[in-house]
Copies of this chain bind each other. A is one copy, B any other.
Amino acid sequence: MRAFKLLIAGMLLLSISTTSDALRAAPADTARVVLVVHGGAGTITRDRMTPEREQQYRAALREALEAGYRVLQEGGTSLDAVVAAIRILEDSPLFNAGRGAVLTSEGTAELDASIMDGRTLQAGAVAGVKTVKNPILLARRVMEASPHVMLIGRGAETFAQEQGLELVPNEYFILPERREQLRRMKERGMGAVPELQEHAYGTVGAVALDRYGNLAAGTSTGGIMGKRFGRVGDSPIIGAGTYADNAACAISATGQGEYFIRAAIAHEIVALMKYAGLTVEQAAAAAIHGTLTRMGGTGGVIALDRNGRAAMVFNTEGMYRGYVDEHGHITIQIYRD
């Protein structure tokens, strides 16, 4: 037990020393953050990026933030805002979620998503979905219109159909460049370890705080390029890729999902706030720069507490991310600095 107290103390120090990665958004006199989004973490560096491509990413993140902010401004809930933002990122071909998803080793798109309500701790999740245009909408239906939390595969799709959600052929999700990536990946050998390849990131997520003081979190992904079909990462796992609890914070994660599951990263951040007394920035930093990094995993999280304090923490070169405050001021960042 002593060792763990020391560990927590170490994490605290670590989190302080790495605040360059945390969002410096909450000096006492600034507006509180109401919505944070991410579009995946990975080896995103300036020298790999063209100005045109960077502009596309910035525009898509901005569009998602504006859509979610509009919902919040009009009195919508944090759940509504999370769904509105993620839908835009799912529809964008730039990210590994919905249209533009990476492909399984079989060349299909298999999508996972989850959502959680910080007020009620209700949650919904879907995995292995191939024909539902917006998996985040299906996750929400599972939460609100089924007695279950998680539905997978054909069962999830049958439910989507019953609920009247928009269905599309699997080809809708597949871009020619994803096919080309898979072909090149197969040529080079798939590799035994699920590495965060250059083109394999792009999971999207959002966390929001509404005027009623309630938090929500959501995440959507195509998983990892070349994954064995049937593989499920952290995105649809409540407690790993997504968690929201008004008593602590809302979290959406992105990265090497296997590590996020094993460390239960999203719930770990919540627990560090509730039981170790850390702030949202400290807890997110402890989970990513402490636990995840020690295990050898890479990725990042966005986190938002009930006071509008936010953190965007990652141990990769970059993470597509942005936030909007209660006055509608939008900030978008991509690289580490």
Roughly how many angstroms separate A60 CA and B232 CA in the complex, as a whole number? 33
Known: A147-B193, A154-B229. 14 other contacts (CB 8 A): A121-B262, A121-B295, A127-B152, A148-B194, A148-B228, A148-B232, A149-B261, A149-B262, A151-B231, A155-B230, A156-B230, A159-B228, A264-B264, A264-B267
User: Is residue A153 contacting chain B, with contact meaning CB distance below 8 A?
Assistant: yes
Q: Which of B1, B158, B192, B277 contacts A1 (CB 8 A)?
A: B277
Roughly how many angstroms separate A200 CA and B141 CA in the complex, as a whole number? 25
Q: Are B230 and A147 in contact (CB under 8 A)?
A: no
A–B Cβ pairs within 8 angstroms, 15 of them: A4-B275, A122-B262, A148-B194, A149-B232, A150-B261, A151-B228, A152-B232, A156-B230, A159-B230, A237-B238, A238-B262, A239-B239, A239-B264, A267-B267, A271-B271
Known: A148-B194, A153-B128, A275-B271. A261 touches B238 (CB 8 A): yes
Known: A121-B262, A158-B230, A261-B238. A147 touches B194 (CB 8 A): yes
Q: Which of B146, B155, B262, B295 contacts A229 (CB 8 A)?
A: B155
> 0/1 per residue, A194-234, Cβ < 8 Å to B?
10000000000000000000000000000000011111110
Q: Which of B128, B247, B268 contacts A267 (CB 8 A)?
A: B268
Roughly how many angstroms separate A193 CA and B194 CA in the complex, as a whole number? 38
Roughly how many angstroms separate A37 CA and B35 CA in the complex, as a whole number? 44
Q: How many residues of A contact B (CB 8 A)?
A: 54
User: Is residue A320 contacting chain B, with contact meaning CB distance below 8 A?
Assistant: no
Q: By CB atoms of chain B within 10 A, which of A121, A237, A276 has the most?
A: A237
Q: A residues 221-273 with Cβ under 8 Å of B? A: 227-233, 237-240, 243, 247, 257-258, 261-264, 267-268, 271-272
Roughly how many angstroms separate A66 CA and B153 CA in the complex, as a whole number? 38
User: Is residue A274 contacting chain B, with contact meaning CB distance below 8 A?
Assistant: yes
Where the two chains meet, the residues of A that have a C-beta atom closer than 8 Å to any C-beta of B are 1, 3-4, 8, 116, 121-123, 127-128, 146-156, 158-159, 192-194, 227-233, 237-240, 243, 247, 257-258, 261-264, 267-268, 271-272, 274-277, 295
> Within 8 Å CB of A227, what residues of B?
148
Q: Are B128 and A152 in contact (CB under 8 A)?
A: yes
Q: Are B262 and A151 in contact (CB under 8 A)?
A: no
Known: A148-B194, A267-B267, A268-B267. A239 touches B261 (CB 8 A): yes
Q: Which residue of B lies closest to A147 (CB)?
A: B194
> Within 8 Å CB of A263, what residues of B?
121
Q: Which residue of B lies closest to A150 (CB)?
A: B232
Q: Are A149 and B258 in contact (CB under 8 A)?
A: yes
Q: Are B232 and A151 in contact (CB under 8 A)?
A: yes
Roughly how many angstroms separate A231 CA and B277 CA in the complex, as a whole number? 36
Q: Which residue of B lies closest to A1 (CB)?
A: B277
> Within 8 Å CB of A193, what residues of B?
147
6 nearest interchain CB pairs?
A155-B230, A271-B271, A239-B264, A275-B275, A275-B276, A264-B267
Roughly how many angstroms separate A240 CA and B243 CA in the complex, as a whole number? 12
Roughly how many angstroms separate A152 CA and B228 CA in the complex, as a whole number? 10
Q: What is the minimal beta-carbon distance from A168 to any residue of chain B, in angstroms?
A: 19
Q: Which of B230, B232, B233, B272 contacts A275 (CB 8 A)?
A: B272
Q: Are A238 and B238 in contact (CB under 8 A)?
A: no
